[in-house]
Amino acid sequence: MSTTELAELIDSKFRELREGSIVTGTIQEIRPQVVLVDIGYKSEGAISISEFEDEEIEVGDQIEVLLERLENDEGIVVLSRKRPPISRTGIRSWACTAMAAWLRVK
């Protein structure tokens, strides 16, 4: 396998993820302090268990999460389940949350 073929294979397995975007992930493990979620990146993301206090979750559940950081100082993907704001129509808007995160970066 050539270097180019290997790079293409890796690119096909790891979709492009951007900080501030909303992604779907699968719960891999529930620990006392954190929930580990696979978002299709090179390592799982971590979400504080406190963000799930009003939800019943199980390993294997698919959830939408906010990608806060691809890697923190320890190399961990930082995710959040913080609820997006509610619009006037009563619909939660992940797009508003992602836009706010994008504006903070600018």
What is the tens place of the pLDDT at every residue in 76-99?
Answer: 899 998 755 444 444 455 555 555
Please report, rounded to a whole number, the percentage of residues in the chain having pLDDT higher than 90: 26
Query: Can you give the pLDDT at residue 37?
Result: 94
Tell me the sheet residues that pair with 63.
25
Can you give the pTM of this predicted structure?
A: 0.64
> In 3-state terms, what secondary structure has residue 79?
strand
Region 25-45: mean pLDDT is 91
pLDDT of residue 5: 78
Q: What is the mean pLDDT of residues 64-86?
A: 80
Could you give the C-alpha distances from 35 to 14, 21, 29, 51, in angstroms and in order? 21, 19, 6, 9
**Burial class for 26, CB neighbours closer than 10 Å (0-12, 13-18, 19+):** middle
- In this prediction, residue 30 has a pLDDT band, given cuts at 50, 70 and 90, of very high
